[in-house]
Amino acid sequence: MLEKQHKPRISIHKFSSCDGCQLAFLNLGPELLRLAQRVDIVHFAEAGPVAPDADVDVAFIEGSIAHPEDIERIRRIRERSRYLVAIGACATSGGVQALRNVARSEAWLAGVYATPAYIEELVDATPIAAHVKVDCELWGCPVTSRQVLTAVSTLLHGVSPRDDADKVCLECKRRQTVCTLVTRAVPCLGPVTRAGCGALCPSFGRDCYGCFGPAENPNVAALGRRFAGLGLVPEAIAQRFQSISNGAPVFRAAAAAIREGAP
């Protein structure tokens, strides 16, 4: 349990990302004001406070490590934090930035920037855990307000947040959402993706694309064969696994195995 002699201090840091997971804090609304009564939010540039080198009890990290200066910065944050929490697909698996890891970096840069010679980047975009110890990972793209609030509450009591590794399919059943894979033959990643989103996409009749990362014991090989049965060619199946959470080892290995086995 955290020491009682001071009000717990938290910080929220951004690396390469879209800011969506930071909005999970801002979207708390009145709950954010109540949280501010329990803790000191000492660094949260998107909301106002700026003190990136402050010592804190809990540091939340959004974004992937994509630039040379990111490595030293995340190490400094780790040294000044009792708990470090990676939030969102970018921080937990590299996110959309990690799509460049399977492409030729020079061609990618030239296709995006008019003057790529001025861009300094690492060859690969990597998750936070590839560089420092991470005490907790909250998956999602973006994470939900419930996730971050639960994480703060549990960590302040010295308990690690529960890792909800159930599959999206279970959330669909709880919501009585009709299965897109079975009834509409749409290639859905729900059978291998962890719960937490409330089965948002299937509830609107579209397929899950894996933004909450791999679930517990994901049978990606069987799902890949099911996609093939729907008529998808190997490259299309591989691309299904290489979406938002493409850097997750299970999804990355599935895509590589499919490509290697392609005729």
Tokens of 17: 């990302």
124 vs 220: CA distance, rounded Å: 24
Q: Do residues 93 and 28 both lie within one domain?
A: yes
Residue 209 lies in a domain: yes
Q: Residue 242 and residue 102: Cα distance in Å, rounded?
A: 10
Tell me, yes or no, whether 151 and 82 share the same domain. Answer: yes
Specify the number of domains making up the chain: 2
Cβ pair 15, 70 in contact under 8 A: yes
Question: 250: how many CB neighbours lie within 10 A of its CB?
Answer: 17
Residue 85 reports pLDDT greater than 70 = yes
Residues 69 and 141 in one domain: yes
How would residue 100 be classed by pLDDT, with cut points 50, 70 and 90? confident
Which alpha helices (H) appear in the chain, and where do they start and end?
Answer: 23-26, 30-38, 68-79, 88-93, 105-112, 145-155, 168-174, 180-184, 200-203, 220-229, 234-241, 249-261
- pLDDT > 70: percent of the chain: 97
Please write the tens of the pLDDT for every residue from 166-210.
Answer: 999 999 999 999 999 999 999 999 999 999 999 999 999 999 999
**For residue 160, is it within any domain?**
no
Residues 20, 103 within the same domain: yes
| Residues 115 and 174 grouped into a single domain | no
Q: How far apart are CA 44 and CA 201, in angstroms?
A: 30
More confident residue, 89 or 6: 89
Residue 162 domain-assigned? Answer: no
Residue whose structure tokens are 């890891």: 101
- Confidence category of residue 1, pLDDT binned at 50, 70, 90: very low
Long-range (24+ apart) CB contacts under 8 A made by 255-262 are 255/102, 257/221, 258/224, 258/234, 259/234, 259/235, 261/234, 262/233, 262/234, 262/235
Query: Which residue range is the domain that position 52 belongs to?
Result: 9-155
Task: Specify whether 132 is located in the same domain as 175.
Answer: no
As a whole number of angstroms, the distance between CA 244 and CA 211 comes to 5
